[in-house]
């Protein structure tokens, strides 16, 4: 690699810009205008990752050779006027549960150490075809089974607002790569909130696509009936751009979106139980801003939600344990004990209880769809708590269990009820407001308008 000073001189000083603070859309636009060379951009981010004191706690591994090759190809397309789209030449980070043919994929677990896939995950192939540059793989909660981001097996990225606190999980490194300026956008996964929680705790936008709307081929699974993929970025526009690339589809049109006249429902049941002061204030302030911008805000009561949350324990953990039982029981000593205990709890659920729980949840889902059919989005606090202290989580298993359940409580509502969900930053640090809805493109338009009202 050429010295940074030489690259600065060649690029005419453009490298002195803090590209780490720009959105993916802005970087792509500057590539299109000839203001940024994709090769220099990739080298900038690789340099930042290598020099950053938190780099090893954020990235499990970088893919320098791949990034440089993809950036050179993007530079050639930009020069010849054949860019593949707005993301062509823009670097992205990838959670370490997306298969990469050129680098190990370990999903934050010693059970998968040195696991080397033979091909890229399907969404990574789609993003590469769109011209995106792969920077590397980010740290995550062990096998994606925690919303806290604490992982003493590999690494625990810290929250951007509190170095002693966790970053949220399971897409912890994905969020912190963007928040620390080490990637313009990141790709994560969510089963019960693993995109939205770390996005909220690190003051980012996090979008959980509709289940099944993005291909899961080559993604290390947790619970196939709930696993989803989503981008973490600084803006809704960035999330829409990345989502389109992952799907291999046109980017949703956000032009003209307005919050004025939007029909929004605040979910009253469950979502505010045991909520702490800062998340409550951030949410209330945001609702006030949305109403002032012309949104019609209604309070929605759905008593069956409490029962749905009870059913979650009978549905998530058995599927996760069934997926991983053989690998876990072959080497349980390789796992962080609280995560091991979460998995093993799935073995205590009987087949009859699992089947009955799904039948009851399907009935509740039908009631939910009827209840929210007239709304553009349902709103709730992304998480009822702030990021907890990492050392206390390590020292106190009971505290870990309680905080993990609370961290994921509200986001799990979105997974249980189906559809897409997105979190937006509020005026309170590490506090997000979530919007849930059916249809990712429509929800992104509502979120885009809400983002402007909140700013």
Which tens digits make up the pLDDT trace of 288-312? 999 999 999 999 999 999 999 999 9
Residue 6: is its pLDDT beyond 60?
no
**How far is residue 336's CA from residue 110's CA, in Å, rounded to a whole number?**
10
In order of 95, 115, 136, 152, 337, the CA distances from 109 in angstroms are 13, 10, 17, 10, 12
* β-strands 162-166, 158-159 pairing: antiparallel
pLDDT averaged over every residue in the chain: 95
Confidence band for 17, pLDDT divided at 50, 70 and 90: low
pLDDT at 33: 97
Residue 129: is its pLDDT beyond 60?
yes
Rounded to an integer, the average pLDDT of 314-339 is 98
pLDDT at 332: 98
Ordered domains of the chain (ranges, CATH): 4-247 (3.90.1300.10), 263-420 (3.90.1300.10)
Residue 10: is its pLDDT beyond 80?
no
What dihedral do alpha carbons 306, 311, 317, 320 form, nearest 10°? -110
Extract the tokens encoding 242.
Answer: 């990345």
Confidence band for 438, pLDDT divided at 50, 70 and 90: confident
Among the options 11, 194, 213, 383, which is catalytic?
A: 194
Extract the tokens encoding 33.
Answer: 């205008």
Among the options 23, 93, 95, 383, which is catalytic?
A: 95
118 part of the active site:
no
Among the options 23, 141, 170, 286, which is catalytic?
A: 170
Confidence band for 36, pLDDT divided at 50, 70 and 90: very high
213 part of the active site:
no
194 part of the active site:
yes
Rounded to an integer, the average pLDDT of 143-171 is 98
Enumerate residues 6+ apart whose C-beta is below 8 A from 133.
38, 41, 42, 67, 70, 71, 74, 89, 90, 91, 92
Read off the pTM. Answer: 0.96
Confidence band for 439, pLDDT divided at 50, 70 and 90: confident
**How far is residue 415's CA from residue 235's CA, in Å, rounded to a whole number?**
22
Rounded to an integer, the average pLDDT of 401-407 is 97
Rounded to an integer, the average pLDDT of 124-131 is 98
Rounded to an integer, the average pLDDT of 89-106 is 98
């Amino acid at each position: 690699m050429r010295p940074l000073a030489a690259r600065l001189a060649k690029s005419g000083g453009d490298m002195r810009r803090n590209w780490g603070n720009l959105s993916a859309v802005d970087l792509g636009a500057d590539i299109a205008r000839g203001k940024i060379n994709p090769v220099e951009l990739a080298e900038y981010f690789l340099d930042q990752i290598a020099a950053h004191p938190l780099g090893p706690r954020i990235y499990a591994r970088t893919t320098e050779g791949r990034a440089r090759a993809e950036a050179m190809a993007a530079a050639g397309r930009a020069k010849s006027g054949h860019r593949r789209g707005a993301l062509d030449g823009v670097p992205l980070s990838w959670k370490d549960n997306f298969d990469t043919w050129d680098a190990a994929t370990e999903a934050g677990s010693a059970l998968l150490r040195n696991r080397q896939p033979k091909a890229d995950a399907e969404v990574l192939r789609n993003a590469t075809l769109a011209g995106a540059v792969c920077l590397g793989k980010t740290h995550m909660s062990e096998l994606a089974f925690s919303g806290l981001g604490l992982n003493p097996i590999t690494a625990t990225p810290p929250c951007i607002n509190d170095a002693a606190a966790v970053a949220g999980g399971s897409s912890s490194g994905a969020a912190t790569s963007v928040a620390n300026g080490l990637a313009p956008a990141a790709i994560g996964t969510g089963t019960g909130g693993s995109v939205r929680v770390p996005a909220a705790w690190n003051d980012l936008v996090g979008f959980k696509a509709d289940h099944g709307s993005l291909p899961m081929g080559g993604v290390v699974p947790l619970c196939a009936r709930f696993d989803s993929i989503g981008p973490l970025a600084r803006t809704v526009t960035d999330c829409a751009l990345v989502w389109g690339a992952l799907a291999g589809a046109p980017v949703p049109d956000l032009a003209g979106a307005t919050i004025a006249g939007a029909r929004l429902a605040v979910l009253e049941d469950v979502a505010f139980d045991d909520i702490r002061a800062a998340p409550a204030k951030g949410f209330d302030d945001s609702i006030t801003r949305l109403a002032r911008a012309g949104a019609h805000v209604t309070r929605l009561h759905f008593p069956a939600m409490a029962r749905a949350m009870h059913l979650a324990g009978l549905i998530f953990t058995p599927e996760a344990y069934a997926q991983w039982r053989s690998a876990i029981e072959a080497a349980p000593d390789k796992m962080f004990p609280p995560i091991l205990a979460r998995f093993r709890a799935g073995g205590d659920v009987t087949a009859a209880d699992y089947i009955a729980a799904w039948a009851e949840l399907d009935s509740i889902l039908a009631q939910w769809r009827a209840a929210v059919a007239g709304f553009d989005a349902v709103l709730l606090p992304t998480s009822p708590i702030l990021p907890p202290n990492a050392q206390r989580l390590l020292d106190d298993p009971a505290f870990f269990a309680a905080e993990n359940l609370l961290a994921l409580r509200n986001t799990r509502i979105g997974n249980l009820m189906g559809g897409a969900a997105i979190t937006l930053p509020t005026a309170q640090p590490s506090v997000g407001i979530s919007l849930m809805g059916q249809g990712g493109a429509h929800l992104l338009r509502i979120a885009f308008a809400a983002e402007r009202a909140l700013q």
